[in-house]
Amino acid sequence: MLEWLKLTPERLQRYIDLLHRLGELSSTPRNHDPGSHANDRHRYSQVKPLGTIAFIYEALPQLAIIAAGMSLKTGNSLILRGGREAQHTNLAIETALRSGLEQVDFPQNAVQLINSDPELLSALLTNTQQVNLVIPYGRPSLIYQVTQQATVSILPAAIGNCYLYWGANGDLELVRHAICDSHVGEPDAVNAIEKVLIHTDRGSTSLTMLWKNLKEKGFQLRGDRELVALHSEYLQLAEDREWDQPYLRKTIAFKSVQGVDEAIAIIGRFSSGHADCIVTDSYLETQKFVDGIDSATVYINASPRFYRHQRGHDRIWLGMSNYHGSQRGAIGLAALTAMQQVTMG
């Protein structure tokens, strides 16, 4: 949490740059005609703003900047509700945003910050007449609180507890890269791999090489009883409750599995469901994994690292949603709009 609260000049500038990138993007398309017949001139579709979006977040004050930029870009107004642990920073960011709106003769109330009073939160989550979408961002406890109270539509953004399955023929260096690279995101490594399922046919040499390298990079390593019994010099015992909880720090837990079927079952039960991956040389194993995993995104022999903006791309993301619906996955500009069908008589 302390790391999330830091707002260094470099981090602040990074999000200011994202605002400039949003400004350079072409306007949200106003007319769209998905799948209608070419000769149907009496029916078309258009993209509309949702209306008012509430962004509920803890720490990570700079996320208010990108949330405001994305909301304004799509024609929405935004209510910010940050945690009290960063209330002064949240207020300073809101003041800067509203000042910018005033300078360009735009309604200042398009972005508003409310305090962290629990009663205000409850009122916000149940105000179906004035709030069109709620995006909660933070630890599982915050997401759970919002999902339990909300009667407004929600789009939860998940962090942590991503799984990697290391097949019997998977490349050691690729596994090491995927784990380390996924933890690089700053300050919130959204898709950080925190659990690794290892095929029982993996040799102990490759395991110890991986664990030694991860320890040198500052990771804390944990494991199930079977692995700890064989490699207690590298691993500490992971309790049963840890498999479905994110660490949100540089900690990895390892578990031995008989094969891809058992890996799929464990991921389906314990993963946060927004990003999971597989490292294997087997095409059949890959296909079975993809078909069996019900996560928003699946990575095959690749790092799941999350980028809010990646060089060479014009898309900008706020977070990753594990929501089961049409807006599942990366939360971009399209998630803040709705499609309206128009029929002319």
For 232, how many CA atoms within 13 A lie in the half-sphere containing its CB?
Answer: 2
Residue entry with tokens 């090489």: 209
Same domain, 206 and 118: no
Residue 268 scores a pLDDT above 60: yes
Name the band, by pLDDT with cuts 50, 70 and 90, for residue 37: low
Is 309 part of any domain?
Answer: no
In a domain, 311, yes or no: no
Q: Kindly state the average pLDDT of the residues 21-42.
A: 66
Lowest mean pLDDT among 28-32, 251-255, 271-275: 28-32
d(CA 79, CA 121): 11
Phi, psi of 338 (to 5 degrees): -130, 155
Q: Determine the 3-state secondary structure of 158 from DSSP.
A: coil
Q: What is the mean pLDDT of residues 195-210?
A: 95
Residue 116 inside a domain? The answer is yes
Are 291 and 337 in a shared domain?
A: no
Q: Residue 182 in contact with residue 192, Cβ under 8 Å?
A: yes
pLDDT band at 39 (very low <50, low <70, confident <90, very high): low
For the segment 308-329, the average pLDDT, to the nearest whole number, is 87
Whichever domain contains 148, its CATH number is 3.40.605.10
Residues 113 and 174 in one domain: no
Residue 92 CA to residue 200 CA, distance in Å, equals: 53
Q: What pLDDT, on the 0 to 100 scale, is given for residue 180? A: 97
Residues 150 and 197 in one domain: no
DSSP 8-state assignment for residue 76: -
Amino acid occupying residue 179: I
- Identify the band that residue 38 occupies on the pLDDT scale cut at 50, 70 and 90: low
Same domain, 125 and 74: yes
- pLDDT-based confidence at 30, cuts 50/70/90? low
Encoding tokens for residue 218? 């500052």
pLDDT above 90 coverage of the chain, percent: 83
Residues 292, 169 share a domain: yes
Looking at residue 183, what is its pLDDT? 96
Helices 63-73 and 87-103, packing angle to 10 deg: 30
Give the pair of three-digit tokens for residue 182. Answer: 């996924």
Domain that includes residue 189, residue range: 162-300
Beta carbons of 257 and 198 less than 8 angstroms apart: yes
What pLDDT is stored for residue 29 in this prediction?
54
Is the domain of 28 the same as that of 175?
no
List alpha helices for 217-282, DSSP H: 225-230, 260-270
Helix, strand, coil: what percent of the chain each, to 5? Answer: 40, 20, 40
Q: Examine residue 312 and state whether it is found in any structural domain, yes or no.
A: no
307 within a domain of the structure (yes/no)? no
- Alpha-carbon distance of 74 to 291, in angstroms, equals 34
153 and 131, same domain (yes or no): yes
Q: Which among 245, 278, 85 is positioned nearest to 175, based on CA atoms?
A: 278
Mean pLDDT of 141-170: 95
Q: How many structural domains comprise the chain?
A: 2
Give me the residue label for tokens 């000042």: 99
Question: Which pTM does this prediction carry?
Answer: 0.92
Model confidence at 232: pLDDT above 60: yes
pLDDT at 76: 97
Residue 313 included in any domain? no
pLDDT at 40: 66
CA distance 269 to 253: 16
CATH code at position 233: 3.40.309.10
Across the range 104-120, mean pLDDT stands at 93
- Are 128 and 177 found together in one domain? no
pLDDT for the residue numbered 44:
86
Q: For residue 221, how many C-alpha atoms fall within 13 Å in the half-sphere facing its CB?
A: 22
Same structural domain, 184 and 225: yes
Q: Tell me what pLDDT residue 181 has.
A: 97
Tell me, yes or no, whether 308 lies in a domain: no
71, pLDDT greater than 60? yes
The phi and psi torsions of 243 (rounded to 5 degrees) equal -70, -25
Lowest pLDDT segment from 186-190, 213-217, 299-303? 186-190
Q: Is 165 helix (H, G, I), strand (E, B) or coil?
A: strand
Residue 56 lies in a domain: yes
Model confidence band, residue 26 (pLDDT cutoffs 50, 70, 90): confident
- Mean pLDDT computed over 204-231: 97
Residue 153 has a pLDDT of: 95
CA proximity to 165, closest of 291, 35, 261: 261
Mean pLDDT in residue range 238-246: 96
Same domain, 41 and 125: yes
187 prior amide bond cis, ω within 30: yes
* 171 and 148 belong to one structural domain: no
Helix (H, G, I), strand (E, B) or coil at 263: helix
